[in-house]
Amino acid sequence: MRVSFALLGALAVSSYALAPPNGHNPYALIGYGKANPIGPTTGGKGGKSVTVSTAEDLLAAVKGNEPLKVYVKGSISLPSRLAPGSNKSILGVGSTAEILQNGISVVNQTNVIIRNIAIRFILDNDGITVQNTTRVWVDHCEFESEFSQEVGPDTYDGQLDIVRASDWVTVSWNYFHDHWKSSLVGNSDVLRDVDFGHLHITYHHNYWRNEGTRGPAGRFGHQHIFNNFYKDFHYQAIHSRSDNQVLVEGNVFRGDTREALSTYGLVIPEDSPNTSPEGDFEIDGYANLGAKNDWGPASINITQVGDFTEAPYKYTLTPLRQVRQVVKAGAGVGKVKL
């Protein structure tokens, strides 16, 4: 496995900085969700398809580990969290598939795809939690709640939190907006023994707008963060702490964005002002910069450079000057026909 991984790494170098991903399948899966030691994420591929439009049918459809493609039609208010089994694709139909009231928890599973669904206003919990789960692809979804001082950081929890030794995940072309704490990777600094060596995640071509913190915030893992567009990510976007490593390249930051990237271990007071008004001290993380980023008005604070200098797979970077346009046009629901 080590050998083929090294080969993938060599391929990555030659594909660097070519044209934007506008070939025959611009939205194909790339990154750790595809290229990893246990195999690509395929979800319900090879299984039957079912279309659901009620909470009852949706909750029932995702059970078990049989490969299945579950098409979700229209707006569904869930009375409890959706808990998909392994080998599932959960795919929104058109541009109106939406989940309200309760989000999705993918726990102890493998091989789950969630695409083209809006997840909105999930009170007191995450939009999606990925826990102790390998091979996940979250693509072309929209995550929305509210961002304001009145609402605060804890009315809603994370938008997409990936925790407890989860691994081999790609988060692509999502539209995260109007929310305080976006995407947490590793949910406690005391879980070093559980998390360390896992949490390999690729974040690419996501659009983050009007958010507070965690775009993403990682502990103990490796995240490759490229070609994302950040607008008004108010306090701190990328945070790498507790020995986490990030490879950050080709991202663009605009608007009221104070800090684009930090490896300083302090969990800033704005992250959890209700519980930690002074912030929380953890040890620092690491960051490497690949292809040029456009930090716009934001600052960066890299206290440690790591050894995550190259992603072990093939990918094509969108030219920096096109990132804003390409991401805004391509991210979110209704952009991909499934």
Binding-site ranges for ligand NAG (CB under 6 A): 65, 67, 86-87, 107-108, 110-111, 132, 164, 264, 301, 303
Residue type (1 letter), 295: W
| Residue 105 identity (one-letter amino acid) | S
Q: Which is nearer to ligand NAG, 86 or 202 (CB)?
A: 86
- Output the smallest distance, CB 93 to ligand NAG, in A: 24
CB of 15 to ligand NAG, least distance (A): 30
Which residue in 214, 241, 258, 324 is the catalytic one? Answer: 214
Distance CA 286, CA 189 (A): 15
We find the least distance from the C-beta atom of residue 6 to ligand NAG, in angstroms, to be: 27
Q: Are 211 and 233 in contact (CB under 8 A)?
A: yes
C-alpha distances in angstroms, 274 versus 70, 146, 149, 265?
A: 39, 17, 11, 19
Q: Is the CB of 29 or the CB of 82 nearer to ligand NAG? A: 82
d(CA 39, CA 59): 27
- Alpha-carbon span 306 to 302, nearest angstrom: 10
Decide whether 69 or 164 has the Cβ nearer to ligand NAG.
164
Q: Sheet containing 104-107: which strands, arranged edge to edge?
A: 104-107, 128-131, 160-163, 184-185, 217-219, 236-241, 259-262, 299-301
Residue 165 CB-half CA count within 13 A: 8
Confirm whether 81 is a catalytic residue: no
Shortest distance in whole angstroms from residue 280 CB to ligand NAG:
13
Task: Identify each DSSP E strand in 21-74 by its residue range.
Answer: 48-52, 68-72
Cα gap 50→56, rounded to integer Å: 13
Query: Nearer to ligand NAG by C-beta: 111 or 318?
Result: 111
d(CA 196, CA 185): 11
Distance CA 136, CA 109 (A): 9
Nearer to ligand NAG, 133 or 206 (CB): 133
- CA-to-CA dists, residue 112 to 42, 51, 140, 283, angstroms: 7, 17, 14, 32
Cβ at position 214, least distance to ligand NAG in Å: 16
> Which residues belong to the active site?
214
